[in-house]
Structure 1
Amino acid sequence: MTTTPASAPAQDDDFLRLDQQICFSLNAAARAFGGLYRVVLKDLGLTYPQYLVMLVLWEHGGLPVKKVGEHLRLDSGTLSPLLKRLETAGLVRRERSARDERSVTVELTDEGAALRERALRVPRRIAAATGFELAEIEDLRSRLDRLTGTLDAAALEETPACE
């Protein structure tokens, strides 16, 4: 593999190399996290997306499904099957709002609330597996949050306006 000195300008062809794609590096890291979470969450009987739903509910309590989706950046088509499986497992319950039939609230059951205690060790296991110090994890998360915001804004700028 040839390397370009930091001071030398990159060639256009270099930008098309797989190892130069930040999106690939982020995707590879996400897949590695997914594999680790699959192992760590097995004892809890949760998939990673289900774990994320539970994190939102443990943090915020009962919420309209729309709000859960906003927290997780998931649309209802992706979120509804997750909630259905969590409900079948007895961890959450969904209820239609009496005031607005279109709104469904999701709440933890007693079993779902109790699972939180067992889940407390998950973040420590994941953090340890990264090999990073806590400050490095916080810095990385902060940078990724900033990147996400910047990319969201760039996507909005690129979206053609409706005519």
Structure 2
Amino acid sequence: MEDFLPLNKQLCFAIYETSSEFTKLYSNVLQQFGLTYPQYLVLLALWEKDGITVKELGGRLNLGTGTLTPMITRMEGNGWLRKERSKEDERKVFVHLQTKAIDEKPAITQKVGEEILTCKIELDEYEQLLKQLNQLQRKLRDRK
């Protein structure tokens, strides 16, 4: 018989399950704003730095243009974003926040924060988990 770890002892499965629970938590909160979890991540990136290219945004979110472009188009149609082609280089498309995204930011971040508080994650626990996940992510990226 082969040696293997059962499902409940697999780190990959624990991360997968946790990610799924986080996605559900965020999706429930964001639904009232007409946003999906990936769209919220786009807003987070643009709230940090507005007016970046689609390529830069994809790099920040680790998403390809095939995934990101339709999402941006939907968000533009719903009044969250605006795309603008570069005048100097037509291959570059910049993404800008619309007024709606700026105006709704306080309400969205408040609702998300309130929902996170229901998880009863203490600040030091949050910081430690984030640190450990970032270290794990670096190790996985650097494995080759």
TM-score, normalization by structure 2: 0.94
Residues 83-125 of structure 1, C-alpha deviations (whole Å, 9 max, x = no match): 0110000110001111111110000111121111211213422
Structure with higher Rg: it is 1
1:63 aligns with 2:52: yes
Tell me the secondary structure at the aligned position of residue 82 of structure 2: strand
- Indicate which of 36, 41, 46 corresponds to 1:52: 41
The answer to whether structure 1 residue 21 and structure 2 residue 10 are counterparts is yes
Aligned positions of 1:24-103 closer than 5 A: 24-103=13-92
Kindly provide the CA deviation profile for residues 110-148 of structure 1, in whole angstroms up to 9, marking residues without a partner as x.
112111121121342242132210110111011101111
Take 1:136 and 1:126, find their aligned partners in 2: how far apart are those partners?
A: 16
Aligned structure 1 segments of 4 or more residues deviating by more than 4 angstroms: none
1: distance between equivalents of 2:66 and 2:88?
A: 23
Q: Which has the higher contact order (CA 8 A, sep 6+)?
A: 2
8 Å contact from structure 1 (residues 44, 118) kept in 2? no
Query: What do you get for the CA RMSD once the two structures are aligned?
Result: 1.5
How many percent of aligned residue pairs carry the same amino acid?
A: 39
Shift of the 141–123 alpha-carbon distance from structure 1 to 2, 3 Å rule, reads: farther
Structure 2 counterpart of 1:160: none
CA contact (8 A) 2:58 2:68 kept: yes
Deviations 1:44-71 (A, max 9, x none): 1110000000011111111111111111
SS in 2 for 1:82: helix
Aligned residues: 144
Alpha-carbon distance between aligned partners in 1 of 2:33 and 2:47, rounded to the nearest angstrom: 15
- Structure 2: 5+ residue stretches without partners: none
Single out whichever of 111-120 and 69-78 deviates more from structure 2: 111-120
* Correspondence 1:114 to 2:96: no
